[in-house]
Chains A and B, each alone.
Chain A
Amino acid sequence: MIDQIKYLILKEFKLELRNKYALGGILLYVVSTVFVSYLSFKKIIVPATWNALFWIILLFASINGVAKSFIGETRGRLLYMYTLASPQAVIISKIIYNSILLLVISGLCLLVYSLFVGSLIQDIPLFLIVLTLGSFGFASLLTMVSAIASKSNNNFTLMAILSFPILMPLLIVLIKLSKNAIDGLENWDLNYLMVLMFINVIIIALSYLLFRYLWRD
C-alpha cells in the first residue's frame, strides 16, 4: 500500500513535469486573476474585502487546478492504474499530490496578492496554518468531487456545482479563522482550528471509504 502510494505520487510528479503547460497554466491563472483584481481595486484596506477576495481567487484556482486530476485522465490509463494498484492507494496518492499542488498555488497566491493588493495580515503564523489546513481540505474534497464529476457527461460544470455546496462548511471556517489572523487577535480560536482539522479528517475518511465504489464501471 505505502509502496503503491509512493509510486503513484512519483508518477503524478513525472507527468506534471512532462507537460509543464498545465501547471504553468494554473499559476498564470492565479497571477492574472490577482492582477485583474489589483487593476479594479488598486489597494484594498478593508480586511473583510481583502479576506473574501483572497479566498474566492484561491477557491477558483483550486477548482481549476484539481479538476484535471480525474477529469483529465484517459480511460485507458485509469483502467491500467486500477489493475496495478488498489483504489485506496489511488485516491490517497491523488489527495497527497493535489495537497502539494494546492500548497504551491496558495503560497504563490498569497505572495502575489500581498504584493499587488497589499498585505493586511497581522498574525502571519496563524494565517499560514490556516492556509495549509485549507489547502489540504480543498485538495481532498475537490479530488473526490473530481472523481465523481469525471463519471458524468458535462464534467466541468458539474465540478463547480457539486463542490460549492459541500465546500461551504470548510470555507466558512477558513474565512472566519483567516479574518482572526488578519485582525491579529490575541488568542487563537482553538475551537475553530479543531473544527477545521475535524472536517479535514472526515473528508479524507469518506474519500478513503467511498472511492472504491466510484471506479468500478
Chain B
Amino acid sequence: MKQNWWKILGAVLVLYSIISGFIFPVPAQAILHETIRNLYFHVPMWFSMMTILGVSAVYSIKYLSNSKFDNDIVAAQAANVGMLLGVLGLTSGSMWARYTWGAWWVADVKLNGVAVSMLIYLAYFILRGSIDEEQKRARIAAVYNIFAFVLYIVFIMVLPRLNDSLHPGNGGNPGFNKYDLDSTMRIVFYHAVLGWILIAVWVMTLRIRTERLKRKTLFNE
C-alpha cells in the first residue's frame, strides 16, 4: 500500500479534473465557447506522452550502457503507452479542431509534429518486429529510438518557434496562456496534467509487469 500512494493520487487527480473540468465556470470566449474545456483533456495527453517517450529514450540509453534486457522491456512498453497517449491526444485535438477551425485536420506545424511522432514510433515497432534475435533487436531498436527521439525533439521544439501556427499559443492566435491567467482554469489544468502523467506511468508499469511475467513463463524461471 505504501508504494501505491501515487496510483491513488493519480486516480483522484484525474477524477477531480474530469468533474471540475465539466462543471466549473470557464471564461466565455468567442469561437472557443465551451470547447475551451478541452484544455483539461487534450493538453495533458501531450505532457504525459512526452514524459513517457522521454522515459523510453532514457531506458534505451541505459540498455546501451549496460545491456540488461529489462531496460529494453521498459523502453518498448513506454513507447507503446506513448503511442496510445498520442492517439488519444490526436483524437481529442481533432474533435476540438472540427468545432473551432471547422476541419478535422489542417496543415500546421504542431499537427505535422504529431504525425511525425506517430510515424517514428510505428517505424520503431516495425523495426523491432523485423529482427528475430532478442539481444540484437534490443540493441538496434535502442539505437533507433535515441536517434529518432533527439531529432523529434528538434522538430517539435525548434520549428514551431520559427513558423506561424493556427494552434492556440502560437503566432498571435488567442492562446490558452491568456486563459490560464484565469485562476480556476489554471488550477484544474495543473491537476489534470499531474494526474494524467501518474496514470500513464501506472499503465506503463502494468505493461512492463505483464511483459516480465511473459518472459518468466517462457524461460520457466
A191 near B112 with CB under 8 A, answer: no
Which residue numbers of A lie inside 8 Å of B, CB to CB? 144, 148, 151-154, 158, 161-162, 164-166, 168-169, 172-173, 191-192, 195, 198-199, 202-203, 206-207, 210, 213-214, 216-217
A214 near B143 with CB under 8 A, answer: yes
Which residue numbers of B lie inside 8 Å of A, CB to CB? 64, 112, 116-117, 119-120, 122-123, 126-127, 130-132, 136, 139-140, 142-144, 146-148, 150-152, 154-155, 158-159, 162
A151 near B136 with CB under 8 A, answer: yes
Distance of A193 from chain B, by nearest CB (Å): 11
Residues of A within 8 A of B162 (CB): 191-192, 195
B112 near A168 with CB under 8 A, answer: yes
A214 near B155 with CB under 8 A, answer: no
Known interface pairs A152-B130, A161-B126, A169-B154; A213-B143 also in contact (CB < 8 Å): yes
A206 near B150 with CB under 8 A, answer: yes
A164 to B117, CA, bound (A): 11
Known interface pairs A144-B147, A213-B143, A214-B143; A173-B119 also in contact (CB < 8 Å): no
Residues of B within 8 A of A164 (CB): 119, 123
Partner of A148, one of B112, B119, B127: B127
B140 near A166 with CB under 8 A, answer: no
B159 near A161 with CB under 8 A, answer: no
A206 near B123 with CB under 8 A, answer: no
Residue of A nearest to B126 (CB): A161
A213 near B139 with CB under 8 A, answer: yes
Residues of A within 8 A of B123 (CB): 158, 161-162, 164-165
Partner of B144, one of A153, A162, A169, A217: A162
Name 23 A/B residue pairs within 8 A (Cβ), A-sorted. Answer: A148-B144, A151-B136, A153-B132, A158-B123, A158-B126, A158-B130, A161-B123, A162-B127, A162-B144, A164-B119, A165-B123, A166-B120, A166-B147, A192-B162, A198-B154, A202-B154, A203-B151, A206-B150, A213-B64, A213-B143, A214-B140, A214-B143, A216-B139
Residues of A within 8 A of B152 (CB): 166
A210 near B143 with CB under 8 A, answer: yes
Known interface pairs A162-B144, A164-B119; A154-B130 also in contact (CB < 8 Å): yes
A153 to B123, CA, bound (A): 14
Partner of B143, one of A148, A192, A198, A203: A148
A153 near B130 with CB under 8 A, answer: yes
- Besides the known contacts A172-B159, A207-B147, 14 further A-B residue pairs in the complex with CB atoms under 8 A apart: A148-B127, A164-B123, A165-B116, A166-B120, A166-B151, A166-B152, A169-B151, A169-B159, A191-B162, A199-B151, A202-B150, A210-B147, A214-B139, A214-B143
A99 to B150, CA, bound (A): 22
A207 to B64, CA, bound (A): 14
A166 to B151, CA, bound (A): 6
Residues of B within 8 A of A198 (CB): 154, 158
A13 to B127, CA, bound (A): 31
